[in-house]
Amino acid sequence: MVSIFKEVIRATRPFSIPIEKSCGSSTGLLKTFIPFSQLQEIKLLEQKINSILDSCISVTQLKQVHAQIVRKGLDQCCFVLAKLVRMLTKFEVPMDPYPRNILSQVHFANPFMYTSLIRGYLIQGSFEKSVSLYGEMWREGISPVSFTITAFFKACGAELNVDLGRQFHGQIMKFGGFTQDIYVGNTLIDMYVKCGWLDCGRQVFDEMPERDLISWTTLIVAYAKRGNMLAAVELFDRLPVKDMVACTAMVTGFAQNGQPREALEYFEKMQSMGVDTDEVTLAGVISACAQLGAAKYASWIRDVAEKSGFGPADSVVVGSALIDMYSKCGSVEEAYNVFIIMRVRNVFSYSSMILGFAIHGCAKEAIALFEEMLKTDVKPNAVTFLAVLTACSHAGFVEQGQQFFEMMEKRSCCAPQEDHYACLVDLLGRAGRFEDALELIKTMPMKSNGGVWGALLGACRIHVNPDVAEIAAGHLFELDPNHVGNYVLLSIIYASAGRWKDVSRIRKLIRTKGLIKNPACSLVEGEKGVIHEFYSDDLTHPKSAEIREELQGLLHKLKLQGYQPLLSSAPYDVSDEDKKRILMAHSEKLALGYMLLTTDAGSVIRIIKNLRTCEDCHSFMCAASQVTGREIIIRDNMRFHHFQNGTCSCNNFW
């Protein structure tokens, strides 16, 4: 980019301001002699108008106050005029022509007058105009203040314009002074961080003569967003005083990096330190809960939210987070209750609710809610469409899904992205329309990616289509040769089709590549909300022996009802007896055994699994719900399965 600072550099006259223009008064009234007593009076008036401006709630009101300012003879008073400009900016009034003209009418503007306008231009995206006004300010002999500099850095950060930011950083270094300012330093750190230059941000941080909580928090958040929680923890530990914002940054950081337990741990730490909680904190904690699927913890956090005055009726952020949490904890009914009592609903609330319906297999409700949403002022976004497409896909509503997809294409605001194509491929694939799916992939405007081929491979598993699976897997292996899940999925498809030679070929391939399978893991919430983790084939749980016994007893009963182990779900080169043993040691079965052993007959069993549940476990759970009379809810990495009286809410279609 060509430097737009040329003008500025030429006009530079740092810190040599003509005395008559800057005699220390922000009023700009000193061009005529005013006695001290009157000056005090004017200061009071200024402050009064300032607070009136603050309380204005519309542009019309602001204009009325402006007229009043003129009437009172304060039309040269930059203190109030700059405030007026900032308020106009807040109400999104374009800087040209009205707020800009206020400056033209002032004989002796001060830095705040200029800065407020520069900031206005920056916020409204007029970089060029703000820079030229900055140049004009220098030519008038008025030096920028810290506020001016922060406005620039903030804009560079928002526009991700690191080139301009660096140039500007270089400029102010030459003049000195500003880099000592803590506001400037903090904004500078944030600018580099937002542009992805974390190391530069860190350097500014290290070189700052003084740091405050905000400097630390900015950097903590930066590391957390990068996924480097170790560095975040290290900084957090060094913080002498930890406030609500810094603590929230840690909680949210862990939640966003898939470490929900640590998030809850920090939240508890925060409470024991007596740090306050607000809706932002709650949003992070609730999101962590949603990931854990911890229903008991969830109801506790709901209480905390209500008690701190941020219940779903009062806070749209907390409400939306709760909808997501309840649906991910297995209770779509509770999620809908929250949705109903919310007084304000935004696109997050609707999207979360629609997705909640979708993952619980309530496609009709999802579509009805989407259509209801179209009648409101809340505009659907890319996520909302993804949610409604997912709902169609799980229910096999092909035509309806295609209609929603076309609706997206017609809306210029949200053209279908990769994810939406993947969803549509999934929709067609599940319906067994492989040719249409392949055609769609061929004609999509962006390069085909892991998403669409992954969706196709998943559909091949449902319909046992090894031929198309080979095509999809071929692309996936090329795109991501080390993603072990794709090899496993292909081997399962071969196994289902009885192509055992191909199964062992793929297994050999996995071995020679040195890939390690992601271990399957199931979580359950036991008594007092204690979370128990089970890995497949894992004997480390203290009750292992009893669990095994319980499961053997159950297996015996299920076999009498006609259940047969599905050996293709264990695609290994081993004997049938070993396959049966492997299947019985799947993590979700262990978790089920534990829950049967330790919970009341009337309670619902909830299991959260990190991988997709296999077909054998699925039919095992169906039968188990019949034989034991227990309701079993499994959340796998895709969706929920409600097993009751021998059937599953997904209709064996997942």
Q: State which of positions 69-88 bind DNA (CB under 7 A).
A: 86
Is 135 in contact with 9 (CB distance < 8 Å)?
Answer: no
Residue 575 three-state SS = coil
165 vs 319 by CB, closer to DNA = 319
Angle, CA 298 vertex, CA 306 and CA 337 arms, to 5°:
65
Which residue of 302, 639, 641, 642 would you call a contact of DNA, by CB under 7 A? Answer: 639
Q: How far is the CB of 462 from DNA (least distance, A)?
A: 8
190 vs 588 by CB, closer to DNA = 190
Q: Is 426 near DNA (CB under 7 A)?
A: yes
Which residue of 172, 459, 551, 634 would you call a contact of DNA, by CB under 7 A? Answer: 459
Residues with Cβ within 8 Å of 461's Cβ and at least 6 positions away in sequence, in order, are 469, 489, 492, 493, 496
Is 282 in contact with 304 (CB distance < 8 Å)?
Answer: yes
Per-residue binding string, DNA, 310-329, x by CB under 7 A, is -----xxx-xxx--x-----
Q: How far is the CB of 331 from DNA (least distance, A)?
A: 15
Residues 130-149 that bind DNA (CB under 7 A): 146-147
**Quick one: DSSP state of residue 433?**
-
277 vs 626 by CB, closer to DNA = 277
Residues 363, 37: Cα–Cα separation, whole Å: 74
Q: How far is the CB of 597 from DNA (least distance, A)?
A: 32
Q: Is 466 near DNA (CB under 7 A)?
A: no
Which residue of 81, 102, 106, 283 would you call a contact of DNA, by CB under 7 A? Answer: 283
Residue 642 φ/ψ, nearest 5 degrees: -100, 110
Residue 398 three-state SS = helix
Residues 331-390 that bind DNA (CB under 7 A): 346-349, 351-352, 355, 359, 381-384, 386-387, 390
Residues 557, 559: Cα–Cα separation, whole Å: 5
262 vs 550 by CB, closer to DNA = 262
**Quick one: DSSP state of residue 606?**
E
254 vs 494 by CB, closer to DNA = 254
Which residue of 3, 60, 482, 637 would you call a contact of DNA, by CB under 7 A? Answer: 637
137 vs 554 by CB, closer to DNA = 137
Tokens for 158, please give them: 């928002």
Q: How far is the CB of 503 from DNA (least distance, A)?
A: 20
Residues 343, 397: Cα–Cα separation, whole Å: 32
Residues 245-264 that bind DNA (CB under 7 A): 245-246, 248-249, 252, 255-256
Residues 496, 462: Cα–Cα separation, whole Å: 10
Residues 301, 324: Cα–Cα separation, whole Å: 13
Alpha helices in 91-161 (DSSP H): 98-104, 111-123, 127-139, 146-158
- Please give the span between the terminal C-alpha atoms of the chain, in angstroms, as a whole number: 51
Q: How far is the CB of 221 from DNA (least distance, A)?
A: 4
Q: How far is the CB of 225 from DNA (least distance, A)?
A: 7
Q: Which stretch binds DNA (CB under 7 A): 124-132, 168-176, 241-249, 491-499?
A: 241-249
Q: How far is the CB of 546 from DNA (least distance, A)?
A: 35
Q: Which stretch binds DNA (CB under 7 A): 196-204, 419-427, 438-446, 534-542?
A: 419-427
Instruction: Count other Cβ atoms within 10 Å, centred on residue 640.
Output: 25
Q: How far is the CB of 653 from DNA (least distance, A)?
A: 11
Is 179 in contact with 185 (CB distance < 8 Å)?
Answer: yes
Q: Which stretch binds DNA (CB under 7 A): 133-141, 286-294, 555-563, 573-581?
A: 286-294
Which residue of 165, 284, 416, 571 would you call a contact of DNA, by CB under 7 A? Answer: 284
Is 505 in contact with 571 (CB distance < 8 Å)?
Answer: no
b/e 333-364 (16+ beta carbons within 10 angstroms → b): ebbbebbeebeebeebbbbbbbbbbbbbbbbe
Q: How far is the CB of 479 from DNA (least distance, A)?
A: 10
Q: How far is the CB of 290 from DNA (least distance, A)?
A: 6
Residues 257, 259: Cα–Cα separation, whole Å: 6
534 burial via Cβ count (<10 Å: 0-12, 13-18, 19+): buried
339 closest CA partner among 325, 310, 361, 319 = 319
Residue 532 three-state SS = strand
Q: How many residues bind DNA (CB under 7 A)?
A: 74
* Positive or negative torsion for Cα 623, 628, 631, 636: negative
Q: How far is the CB of 269 from DNA (least distance, A)?
A: 15
Strands (DSSP E) found in 432-542: 521-525, 531-535
Residues 176-235 that bind DNA (CB under 7 A): 181-184, 186-187, 190, 212-214, 217-218, 221
Q: Which stretch binds DNA (CB under 7 A): 361-369, 404-412, 420-428, 524-532?
A: 420-428
Residues 479-498 that bind DNA (CB under 7 A): none
> How many helices (H) does the chain have, and how many strands (E)?
33, 6
457 closest CA partner among 449, 641, 404 = 449
183 vs 197 by CB, closer to DNA = 183
Q: Tell the residue number behind the tokens 């916020």, with chain if given.
A: 123
Q: Decide the pairing of beta strands 647-648 and 531-535.
A: unpaired
Q: Which stretch binds DNA (CB under 7 A): 66-74, 448-456, 583-591, 627-635?
A: 448-456
Q: Is 110 near DNA (CB under 7 A)?
A: no
**Chain-centroid distance, C-alpha 407:** 25
Which residue of 232, 264, 455, 469 would you call a contact of DNA, by CB under 7 A? Answer: 455
373 vs 554 by CB, closer to DNA = 373
287 vs 626 by CB, closer to DNA = 287
Q: How far is the CB of 217 from DNA (least distance, A)?
A: 4
Which residue of 76, 110, 150, 619 would you call a contact of DNA, by CB under 7 A? Answer: 150
136 vs 181 by CB, closer to DNA = 181
Q: How far is the CB of 598 from DNA (least distance, A)?
A: 30
The DSSP annotation for 178-197 comes to GGG-HHHHHHHHHHHHHTT-
Is 137 in contact with 114 (CB distance < 8 Å)?
Answer: yes
Residues 121, 114: Cα–Cα separation, whole Å: 11
Residues 578-597 that bind DNA (CB under 7 A): none
Residue 633 three-state SS = strand
148 vs 568 by CB, closer to DNA = 148
Q: How far is the CB of 457 from DNA (least distance, A)?
A: 7
Q: Which stretch binds DNA (CB under 7 A): 33-41, 273-281, 298-306, 431-439?
A: 273-281
Residue 546 three-state SS = helix
